[in-house]
Structures are given as C-alpha cells and as structure tokens.
Structure 1
C-alpha cells in the first residue's frame, strides 16, 4: 500500500531536428506534460502525457487539456486516500474520468516507476521480465521532408531496418507518386511502411495500395478511418500488403472488434493511446490470442515515455519493431541520461523503475510559461 502526497505537472516544448508532417498536421516542436508523483514516503515517480505534436488533432487530447484534467481531477483522486497498488489507482482514475486515456497513462506510468524504485527493479520485471534487451527502431520520414533520400540513406547506414513514409497530401495520387519515387532509395531488405493516418477512403486504398505493394511497400498503417473495420478487412484481403491498425485499436474492446473482423495483420500498440502500460499489455495479449502481430507504437515521447514503452515492449514474446524515435528526432531531452540507440536498435533501460532521472535544469529550460 502507498499514499500519494502530491502531483506536479509541467508542460514542456522541445525542439525537433526538422519539421515533421503527418496526416493531421505539421510538427515543428514536440510538447508533452512531464508528471511527478510524490509519495508520502518520499519516493517520486516520473510519467509523461504526450500526443504527436502536443495538440488534439490526432488523439483528441492536448497538452493543455491533459494538464488541466490531471491537476483538477485525476491528481486529487490519487491523493484522496492510500491505495493498495497500481490496479487500485487505475480504478480510481477511471471513476474520476470516463475517458482521458493519454492523461491517465502518464499517472499510471509514474506509479509503475514508484513501484519499481521501491522494489529496486526495472518496470520490465513487474511485467514478467525482458525477453529482449533491444528493440529494432523504425525511422519515420515526414510527408514533406526535404532531402528525404539523403535522410533515408543516413538512417539505413545507422542501422535502421524499417522506414515509414507519412502520407499527408490532399490527393492520394500525390502521396503515392512521392513514395514510388523515394522507394528507389530504399534497400530491398528494409521493411517499408506507409501511414495515411486513416485519411484515405476505400476507393483510394483499393487503387493505390496494390501499386505500392508491387513497388515494395510491406505494410499499410491505418489506411482507412478507425471506424471502418469492415473496409480494413476488405483492403487487407486485396491490397497485397499487411495492414496495421493504429487509431482503430485504443482499447482491449477495440482489439477484440478488430480481431473478430480480421481487419489487421498487426496492431500498433501505444502506451498513451491505450491509457497506460497495463492496458497496452492487455491489447497485446488479445493480439497474440488472435494470431495478430504486435508492433511497438510511439507518440514522439521524451526518454521518460520512451523508456516506459520500451520496457513493456521488451517483455513481449514477439515484437515487429517499434517507432520509439522521439529522443532521436528531438534535439534535447528532459532527463540526465537519455535512452540510447545502437545500430538502429533502442537499448532498453535497466535501472530501477523507468531507469531514467529527471534533469531539473532541462525541465526549467523547456517549461512553458
């Protein structure tokens, strides 16, 4: 049993190496909410509330709404009385708010960090232990990245064995033409993913995905809107490539629905989107039971959220790569020692809890006024 004394939240705005255009908008920086949960026994847990770009366009929550919901509703619920553990805390958060998964995920992350620190073990041990200490990392190319061919060559030379092309043009034909041109720069042994962020309709997907498959694209990530599970199943049967569900899989209930309709070959499992580590692990369990592959999704986290997600993904029996590239795309971080990457792989942190330490000076430097 543990009792929470207080919760601190700070919005940070971190610079990124280049603008990153995705289906719902353009990222020129990455914003997130850094959360510190303090117990009455003097232990502090770190968490991160994050969505791509920091705004509500992709996930429905923003850094501003997440901070407000945590400060006004979720933190008081945690501090109201002692809790028996993380499961008890999550139930309390669910009673305090019907939705707000991204905000809840940050607090749950901090609670796991506390439990790991108290027991002197990494969070991965709390989920059964690692089966791998490295995760292959996909590199994401923005929809209008300048000198994209040079960037692809650099990242392949650095060891990345998966490349994702974001698709954001108003016309699917423009997206397809751009990618068909860039595929000449991708070695044959590199897995290629295209991601329309659910913005294509079924007619466009039927026309262009088979052509992209013939040219070497391996996976289409969320080609259709999240609600169109039957259309996803039809595209999966006709496109000639694997289909990965992202926005369509935000809960275990979503995972069951997608599995029943056979709408995807892979799930992009994201900790913030799922509402926390335990919920994300539940989605992965549904996927394994249904014979669907698991891919470790990312939402442009700092090393805080990256470490949390990596420790969970590292416990899965099979993982088809990940896109935990936040610390690579950002030019700075908010921890003392950022997570490390070697030869295209993310090295899973092994210290107590999340295995990262907050850099208070960096937190102040990037804190939003």
Structure 2
C-alpha cells in the first residue's frame, strides 16, 4: 500500500530542510517502507502463554537521499500489520524530509505525536523502536563501523545462554534431550520454561532437568507471568533447591509489589523486562528492588536510544543486565557490553530468524562473535523477503 505525503501530517508539519550542505542533503529521509516476514519454525513450540508455528519479523526500511537504507526490525507472535500501520500512517509523514542523523530529536518528536496518548507502551512504542533501530543502523553505516563499535563496545566475544531447548510443550524427556544437544555444542547456560496449570508439574520438571544436566550447567526458569503470587512463593524453595540462576517473569509483568515481595524473601534472583516498555517502568522496578536481573528488549523499548538509558540505569544499580531477545539477538549482539557494569555481559540466543538477514549471527561454543560489517546487522536478505513476506502487510511513503 502506498501513502501520499500530505503537507500536514495530523497537524504536525514535517521539518523543512533549508540551507543544507551537500553532505547534509544526503542524510535527508526520502522514503519509508514497511513489510513483515513470517519465518516458519522447525517444530511447533509453546510457553505458558503462547503456541508458535512461526516467528514474525516486522521490518521498516528508511532510505536517504544518498541511497543508503537503514533497516529496523521487531519480533512478534501476531499483529505485525499494526506496527506497520503506525509507521505508515503516523511516523512516515513526520520522517520524510527530516534528517536521519537527528536520532534523539526524531525519537522525541515521534514519541510526542498524538499517538502518545494511545501508546506509551505496546504497538505504538514498538513501532518507534523499529524506526530508532533503522536510524542507528544508518548512523553506523555512515561511520563505516558495526554499531557496537560506534557505541564504544569492546571486540571481545559475548557469552550467550540458549532458550531453544526448554519449551513447555515438550516432555521432560524431550527437554532433557534438547538441552543435552545444546550442552554438547558448547552452551554452559540454558533456560527452561515453566508455568504448568499444576505447580507440582513445574517442580518435577525443574528437579528432573537439574538432575540430568548436572551441577556445572547454569539453568534459568521462565514462567512467562503465569503464576500468581502464592504459586510463585511455593516454587521459590524448589527453584533454590535446584540451583536455578533466576526465575523470569514469575507473576504478572505489571505487578511491581509481587515482584518486590518475591525478591525480598527468595534466594533466587527475579528477572523481568521483556514486558516493560519504558525506562520509567524499569526505573520503578529497580528503585523498589523488585528485580535483580534486568532484561530490556530493544524491540519492546523504543529502540537503541531507550535501551541504552535502561542499561545505564541497571549498571548504576549494580544489577545484572541480560537483554531479552525479541530480535533473536540480531541487534542485541551489538548492544551487550557497551555500558560500564560490574557483571560480564550475557545474551539470550534463539536461532529462529538467522536466515532472514544478510549478516547472520556467529556463535561458537556458546560465545557470540562481534559483527564486522558496518551497521546494526538488520539488513534483510532479499531471498528471505521473497520466501516469507506476508501479503497485504506494510506500505511505502516517499517524496521521490
């Protein structure tokens, strides 16, 4: 679907470009295009809240006058058309004609559009994330360096933990087999899903996994918000007994008080963040000592700009910073390890979308190698778009 540029986008004029030098003129945004890819999974998977047969990657491509293209992505179970519509109808008219280099100014300008009143979290905020990632991708391309280097990170490999072996729809025997395969391939940290209707099943699952993998493997558990406070309190001693490194999203993501009570009384660290959409929300949880493992997601927060804000907050509180990977680590491989923190960087790895991108992630023996190509590693492989693009989703806005 094509969108014509109006002189006035919902009462907010696009910034005029006057008296630009030739270099600055090349930075001007001339087109914004959105689409989405549905990448099939090797097998159906489920946690306590969702059953998946594919992972959807919404995409925005921002083109500048000098022919560069910055790519922003998200990752969702459903509703990719909603993210694309926010960009097409509300953000793109305010982007075309603006400078791609004014990243923070653009972030603030889009955040305070009238859509702010219906979307300080969720779809509108995630759409802003896609735009922000695309602008940072352009910035790194212009600098001729990978994004992690632009942000001041070191070239050292980053340790990862693997989430792809512990799904809730798999039997305990299958989980043990899959985790064993990951361990044989070099991972020393793995995560399993919990959140069964009967908490006793979760207890048996946790104990069985620990017994089989042994004491030398770090194991985390993720309830995906499925427990109430009473169930979580019952499970804390079991998790501690099994040596779980953390319990992720044990209760409803918005229930700060429940997270705080669990963290205060338990010996297992509480982890959360994939369902927190702003640096204000993270600040509230950190100030209340409601979490010890901070999991900002660049696709749920409003992009790299807001992710960095949360990362600095977490480091300042002395907390562990472990990103949630709605992007399947594609952008986070650049972000981990770019802030001054006491704990070593750690990344979540899920391999579902590797074939989407021109530059795949490289993981050896559980450690992610830093990307070498300029940009944010988000450019989409044209063959992937041909295979997996969703019909009827997305649009294009241009003054070309």
Same fold per superposition (TM over 0.5) = yes
Give the whole-Å Cα distance in 1 for the aligned partners of 2:344 and 2:326: 17
Give the whole-Å Cα distance in 1 for the aligned partners of 2:31 and 2:200: 52
Give the whole-Å Cα distance in 2 for the aligned partners of 1:271 and 1:347: 19
**Larger deviation, residues 124-133 vs 255-264:** 124-133
Aligned residues: CA RMSD: 1.9
Q: Does 1:170 align with 2:193?
A: no
Give the whole-Å Cα distance in 1 for the aligned partners of 2:277 and 2:214: 33
2:68 to 43, 50, 66: 43
8 A Cα contact 1:139 1:155, kept in partner: no
SS in 2 for 1:45: strand
Give the whole-Å Cα distance in 2 for the aligned partners of 1:171 and 1:133: 40
Alignment deviations for residues 194-248 of structure 1 (CA, whole Å, 9 cap, x no partner): 1111221111111112112102212111111122222212211222211112246
8 A Cα contact 1:21 1:27, kept in partner: yes
Q: Match for residue 58 of structure 1? A: none
8 A Cα contact 1:32 1:48, kept in partner: yes
Q: Match for residue 71 of structure 1? A: 88
Compared with structure 1, are the counterparts of its residues 329 and 11 closer, same or farther at alpha carbon in structure 2 (3 Å cutoff)?
A: closer
1:19 to 41, 44, 60: 44
Q: Cα offset for 1:315?
A: 1.4
Q: Does 1:329 align with 2:346?
A: no
Compared with structure 1, are the counterparts of its residues 84 and 299 closer, same or farther at alpha carbon in structure 2 (3 Å cutoff)?
A: closer
Q: Match for residue 206 of structure 1? A: 233
Q: Match for residue 316 of structure 1? A: 339
Q: Does 1:366 align with 2:388?
A: yes
Give the whole-Å Cα distance in 1 for the aligned partners of 2:255 and 2:381: 43
Gaps of 5+ in 2: 1-23, 392-400
Q: Does 1:152 align with 2:179?
A: yes
Give the whole-Å Cα distance in 2 for the aligned partners of 1:293 and 1:134: 14
8 A Cα contact 1:19 1:145, kept in partner: no
SS in 1 for 2:358: coil
Give the whole-Å Cα distance in 1 for the aligned partners of 2:317 and 2:89: 39
Q: After the TM superposition, which segments of 4 or more aligned residues of structure 1 sit over 4 Å from their partners?
A: none
Greater RCO structure (CA 8 Å; 6+ sep): 2
Q: Cα offset for 1:320?
A: 4.8
**Larger deviation, residues 153-162 vs 235-244:** 235-244
8 A Cα contact 1:131 1:316, kept in partner: no
Q: Cα offset for 1:18?
A: 2.2
2:153 to 109, 129, 141: 129
1:159-238 correspondence to structure 2 within 5 Å: 159-238=186-265
Alignment deviations for residues 143-200 of structure 1 (CA, whole Å, 9 cap, x no partner): 1225111101000111112111112422222222222222222231221111111221
Compared with structure 1, are the counterparts of its residues 139 and 28 closer, same or farther at alpha carbon in structure 2 (3 Å cutoff)?
A: same
TM-score (norm 1): 0.90
Q: Cα offset for 1:3?
A: 1.3
SS in 2 for 1:225: coil
Compared with structure 1, are the counterparts of its residues 248 and 360 closer, same or farther at alpha carbon in structure 2 (3 Å cutoff)?
A: closer
Q: Cα offset for 1:79?
A: 0.9
Higher helix proportion:
1
Q: Match for residue 56 of structure 2? A: 31
Give the whole-Å Cα distance in 1 for the aligned partners of 2:33 and 2:302: 19
Give the total of aligned pairs.
354
Gaps of 5+ in 1: 56-61
Compared with structure 1, are the counterparts of its residues 84 and 148 closer, same or farther at alpha carbon in structure 2 (3 Å cutoff)?
A: closer
SS in 1 for 2:330: helix
Q: Cα offset for 1:129?
A: 2.8
Q: Does 1:87 align with 2:104?
A: yes
Q: Does 1:253 align with 2:288?
A: no
8 A Cα contact 1:249 1:255, kept in partner: yes
TM-score (norm 2): 0.83
1:348 to 362, 370, 376: 370
1:114 to 113, 138, 162: 138
Alignment deviations for residues 316-335 of structure 1 (CA, whole Å, 9 cap, x no partner): 3444522131xx235x6222
Q: Cα offset for 1:360?
A: 1.1
SS in 2 for 1:333: helix
Give the whole-Å Cα distance in 1 for the aligned partners of 2:42 and 2:348: 16
